[in-house]
């Protein structure tokens, strides 16, 4: 049976209060939702808590699920919201504005701090374990609305349309945030690769 038909039957069973259907939902979607939660929350307990919170919301709100939306999109929207809420409760310091990570330009159009040239292609470098750690750390520095776009578009490879639906915004906003987030990530990675500036003697 095609996924859409399976989902329609699953939703109908969930709305009817079928406990086995909820177990099926967890089995079918739980692992991928947990993976997304881990993208936002590197602490395993926090990621699992976010998934549990999301599943509680699914159970409570399945009656309001509209068939005009894909089940996976609806589930991801709830999970992302739960993960962001968990992030807010764990945050110790106010978020930095995205502008603080973007490149700065002089009047002649040149960057104030030139980007560090990367001898490998970005994709090749991303596959290296140490750079993967740097990228995860850099993504964690982004303001949450930008982090969510990067996670969904670049890591989860969701379409612009589905990303916009999950985040409750427009495709154009997703495009703008993704562009700015990628610029900020490049700046953060440049800082990490360049290392601290030498102190003046």
Q: What pTM was estimated for this model as a whole?
A: 0.71
pLDDT at 124 over 70: no
- Burial of 73 per CB tally in 10 Å (0-12, 13-18, 19+): middle
Q: Which of 4, 14, 5, 51 is nearest to 32 (CA)?
A: 51
- Burial of 95 per CB tally in 10 Å (0-12, 13-18, 19+): middle
Q: Which of 196, 195, 179, 191 is nearest to 98 (CA)?
A: 179
C-alpha pair distances (Å), 17 with each of 20, 21, 65, 73? 9, 8, 14, 21
Q: 2 vs 75, which has greater pLDDT?
A: 75
Residue owning tokens 């589930």: 75
Do residues 143 and 98 make contact, with C-beta atoms less than 8 angstroms apart? yes
pLDDT at 69: 80
201 — pLDDT class (breaks 50, 70, 90): very low
pLDDT at 1: 42
107 — pLDDT class (breaks 50, 70, 90): low
- 143-178: pLDDT as tens digits: 888 999 999 999 999 999 999 999 999 999 999 999
What would the mean pLDDT of 29-46 be, rounded to a whole number? 92
Q: For the chain, which residues make up each domain, given as ranges?
A: 3-90, 98-194
pLDDT at 80 over 90: yes
Distance CA 125, CA 131 (A): 6
Rg (CA), the chain: 20
What CATH number was assigned to the domain covering residues 98-194? Answer: 1.10.10.10
**Mean pLDDT, the chain, as a whole number?**
82
What CATH fold (topology level) applies to the domain 3-90? Answer: Rna Polymerase Sigma Factor; Chain: A (1.10.1740)
What would the mean pLDDT of 26-49 be, rounded to a whole number? 93
């Amino acid at each position: 049976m095609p996924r859409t038909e399976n989902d329609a039957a699953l939703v109908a069973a969930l709305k009817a209060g079928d406990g086995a259907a909820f177990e099926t939902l967890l089995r079918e979607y739980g692992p991928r939702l947990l993976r997304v939660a881990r993208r936002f929350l590197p602490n395993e307990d926090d990621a699992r808590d976010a998934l549990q919170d999301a599943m509680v919301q699914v159970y409570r709100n399945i009656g309001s699920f509209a068939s005009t939306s894909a089940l996976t999109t609806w589930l991801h929207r709830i999970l992302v919201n739960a993960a962001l809420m968990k992030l807010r409760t764990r945050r110790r310091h106010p978020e930095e504005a995205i502008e603080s990570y973007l490149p700065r330009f002089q009047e002649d159009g040149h960057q104030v701090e030139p980007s560090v040239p990367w001898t490998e292609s970005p994709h090749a470098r991303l596959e290296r374990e140490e750079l993967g750690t740097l990228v995860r750390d850099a993504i964690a520095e982004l303001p949450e609305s930008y982090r969510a776009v990067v996670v969904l578009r670049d890591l989860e490879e969701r379409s612009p349309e589905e990303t916009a639906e999950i985040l409750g915004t427009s495709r154009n906003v997703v495009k703008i945030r993704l562009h700015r987030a990628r610029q900020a990530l490049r700046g953060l990675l440049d800082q990490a690769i360049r290392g601290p500036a030498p102190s003046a003697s």
